[in-house]
A and B are shown apart, each in its own frame.
Chain A
Amino acid sequence: MSGTPVLAIEHLTMRFGGLTAVSDLSLWARAREITAVIGPNGAGKTTLFNCITGFYRPTVGRLQLAHPDGARFLLERLPEFRIAREARVARTFQNVRLFAGMTALENLLVAQHNTLMVASGFTVLGLFGGSAYARAEANAIDKGRYWLDRVGLSARADDPAGALPYGAQRRLEIARALCTDPVLLCLDEPAAGLNNRESAELNQFLLDIRHEHGASILLIEHDMGVVMEISDHIVVLDYGTKIADGAPREVRNDPKVIAAYLGVADENAEAAEAGL
């Protein structure tokens, strides 16, 4: 199944009034692969994520998501909660958005809201103590426990999410996204603020998820260690357009990419931008 696109973006343009954040962007993310989106700040990466996950409605463009069973979704038409619920696209945020006053475990249970709602008979059955709900809740807690274990937060299951250290919060957010059994997992700077050891653990964790759960991962990252280490495919954005797209080795040596990140001496700027 690897090799077929899970996410196909065609001619995506996002305009806010006079500002064009993303301009005519087309890219594919292939199933069961880790695709990284990189680029200098302001390149439009988070805007891209917001378009994919339905928080922004694209001005122009088609975003198609394909499930392994063949189901297809046009993301540009769906509101964000339906993209999460039906298209099974999960995401994390640049500034961690946990439910700070709720415990780690509760955060993971909220992620399983839709399943639990059905099991509780949309609350009515649950209110009067149906056993179906009790079973479903036990399963949900087990799943929560499983993911807490995987991210190393078992001991802190009952601690309020807001009290966790920063790295733990990031891991919890990823665990929460995984509790929704996503087909596409979108991570916005998961390695931000992590030290080397934690980054290495994150790398391994993402590789394991891809391997065990068959999720496709789309990743915004600035940490080149993470990006080069685990990505199968890298897309580089600058000023809202794609300037490179390919395997890590190609992208690493692409002069346009180097120019965008590191800048070049003025006399070489034009040459670099012309893509020589």
Chain B
Amino acid sequence: MPRESESSLRFDTLAALQDAATAALVATGLFILLIGIRTEQGPAGALVISTRFGLLAEIVAAVFVGRLLVRRVIWRSLTDAVGRMIPTRVNSVAAHLATYAAAAFLVSALIAPVVFYTNRYWLDLAILIVTYTMLGFGLNIVVGLAGLLDLGYVAFYAVGAYSYALIAQHFGLSFWICLPLAGMLAAVAGLLLGFPVLRLRGDYLAIVTLGFGEIIRLILLNWQDLTGGPNGISGIARPSFFGLPFSAADNGFAATFGLSYSPTHRVVFLYYLILALALMTNWVTLRLRRLPIGRAWEALREDEIACRALGINTTNTKLTAFAMGAMFGGFAGAFFATRQGFISPESFTFGESALVLAIVVLGGMGSQLGVAVAATVMLGGFELFREFEQFRMLIFGAAMVAIVIYRPRGLVSTRKPSVVLHKPTAIAAAIAQDARAEPAK
């Protein structure tokens, strides 16, 4: 009935305007001092202030308009229309696509150096993405599969890197020996750190692991004799091609294979190296998922009490997850050390743990493909915004909040069962209970 809808539309408009006005008022309160006023260190060292009320007005206006758009019928019907366009079977369709997507990812990963051979920048970015993908795979075991909140994963990355650097420097062993050693040491660190704390409840475990991450960083920073303190360790041996150094010399890689020397050779080798490590991590994880330990991890995530009631030693299960994740983090750290040639505690801050955690959670807990996609999107996006240097992190944080609110199950939100009797069905993540929604009170 036209008259009814007319007045209800008017009412709706009024309410929307009031709502937007409230939002604008709140924005004014929030931003009036921190944006409206700018503090700078003046010539005498004391602070001087200047006003930026123009900027403040612009931002408040933007909030007003934005809020209006969010509330108005336009937006709602827009989202309705979009929602109708996406069929309800989208998740099972997506699951099918997942297999093709995985293959596509793999292929593009394999040929990336060829495509970007002349562009050092993209090659470096590719190495960065694959490194974080590997870290994501490692943390995925702990957080995605076993459901343990680890906020200090960077500790194992650091242990791996520093172990590699120190062993390589003091004992002069080759990369291929130091890498597994670094991984083992990281795994041991995982056992040591995990043992006392794995019986803690979810949130507490998160904070404790955060604490561990910081403790490791502070020790690395302050134990000058061992770690070089804030100066770190430099001059770490660069990798060789199974004994052939990547130099212009006659016994070098280029000369041996009849190619003209190019510094890119080493970079390409590094890329394939980290790719191999990441693929190995992926393979191991997929195998483990089909073994009892992997199933126990996932069951642990779903319901720890039921696990214990079935005779599973959940402490050992958690420790195994922790140690495996730590080991892969250690491998990644060792790679990082040899790639950079130089490491310092600055590379191992909490921000790294947060980034890897974001990659795992936003990729879709437990999903390997999701991790790869998330790493690409986040690091790629990060790079794309390079011009907005300062705003990058801000947008990153806001994106984290937005994604976890609007797509909480991550980008790939289906789970493939590890064993099937008749016909595999992808399990929508909404059914899975990772770490039970109610707070454990």
B419 touches A123 (CB 8 A): no
In the complex, residue of chain B having the shortest beta-carbon distance to the beta carbon of A157? B421
B311 contact from A101, A109, A141, A180, Cβ within 8 A: A180
* Minimum distance in angstroms from A134 CB to a CB of chain B: 11
A117 touches B293 (CB 8 A): yes
B292 touches A81 (CB 8 A): no
A97-B306, A101-B427, A101-B433 known; A113 vs B419 contact (CB < 8 Å): no
B295 touches A109 (CB 8 A): yes
Give how many A residues have a beta carbon under 8 Å from the other chain's beta carbons. Answer: 46
Interface centre among B320, B424, B425 (most CB of A within 10 A): B425
In the complex, residue of chain B having the shortest beta-carbon distance to the beta carbon of A137? B419
A110 touches B296 (CB 8 A): yes
Q: Specify which chain B residues have a CB less than 8 angstroms from the CB of A160 in the assembled complex.
A: 425, 427-428, 431-432
Give the complex CA separation of A37 and B302 in angstroms: 29
Encode B277-320 as 1/0 by CB contact (under 8 A) with A.
00000001001100111011011001101111111111000001
Encode A134-160 as 1/0 by CB contact (under 8 A) with B.
000100010001000000000001111
* Minimum distance in angstroms from B116 CB to a CB of chain A: 34
Interface centre among B291, B292, B303, B427 (most CB of A within 10 A): B292
A127 contact from B287, B307, B422, B427, Cβ within 8 A: B287
* Minimum distance in angstroms from A97 CB to a CB of chain B: 4
In the complex, residue of chain B having the shortest beta-carbon distance to the beta carbon of A122? B293
A106 touches B295 (CB 8 A): yes
Stretch from A68-76, A85-93, A211-219, A220-228 forming part of the interface with B: A85-93
* Minimum distance in angstroms from B122 CB to a CB of chain A: 35
A13: interface (CB < 8 Å): no
A101 touches B415 (CB 8 A): yes
A167: interface (CB < 8 Å): no
In the complex, residue of chain B having the shortest beta-carbon distance to the beta carbon of A154? B421
* Minimum distance in angstroms from A52 CB to a CB of chain B: 11
A101-B429, A157-B421, A180-B311 known; A113 vs B305 contact (CB < 8 Å): no
A99-B303, A103-B427, A120-B291 known; A158 vs B308 contact (CB < 8 Å): no
A116: interface (CB < 8 Å): yes
B431 contact from A91, A101, A112, Cβ within 8 A: A101
A33: interface (CB < 8 Å): no
* Minimum distance in angstroms from A27 CB to a CB of chain B: 21
A53-B309, A159-B425, A162-B431 known; A102 vs B417 contact (CB < 8 Å): yes
A105 touches B420 (CB 8 A): yes
Q: Specify which chain B residues have a CB less than 8 angstroms from the CB of A85 in the assembled complex.
A: 311, 313
Give how many B residues have a beta carbon under 8 Å from the other chain's beta carbons. Answer: 40
Give the complex CA separation of A106 and B425 in angstroms: 13
Main secondary structure of the interface of A (DSSP, over half): helix
A117 touches B292 (CB 8 A): yes
B295 touches A157 (CB 8 A): no
A100 touches B418 (CB 8 A): no
B150: interface (CB < 8 Å): no
A106 touches B418 (CB 8 A): yes
A189: interface (CB < 8 Å): no
B299 touches A110 (CB 8 A): yes
B170: interface (CB < 8 Å): no
A113 touches B309 (CB 8 A): no
* Minimum distance in angstroms from B314 CB to a CB of chain A: 7
Q: Specify which chain A residues have a CB less than 8 angstroms from the CB of B89 in the assembled complex.
A: none
A145 touches B421 (CB 8 A): yes
A81-B314, A180-B311 known; A105 vs B433 contact (CB < 8 Å): no
In the complex, residue of chain A having the shortest beta-carbon distance to the beta carbon of B310? A111
B302 touches A158 (CB 8 A): no
Interface centre among B284, B415, B432 (most CB of A within 10 A): B432
Q: Specify which chain B residues have a CB less than 8 angstroms from the CB of A79 in the assembled complex.
A: 308
In the complex, residue of chain B having the shortest beta-carbon distance to the beta carbon of A80? B308
8 CB contacts below 8 A, A to B, read: A82-B311, A93-B309, A100-B303, A105-B417, A110-B296, A110-B299, A127-B288, A160-B431
| Pairs of residues from A and B, 8 with the lowest C-beta to C-beta distance, nearest first | A101-B432, A85-B311, A84-B311, A116-B292, A99-B302, A162-B431, A157-B421, A97-B306
* 17 further A-B pairs in the complex, CB-CB below 8 A; given A109-B295, A120-B291: A53-B309, A85-B311, A90-B310, A100-B433, A110-B296, A113-B292, A113-B295, A113-B312, A117-B293, A123-B288, A123-B291, A133-B291, A158-B421, A158-B422, A162-B432, A177-B310, A180-B311
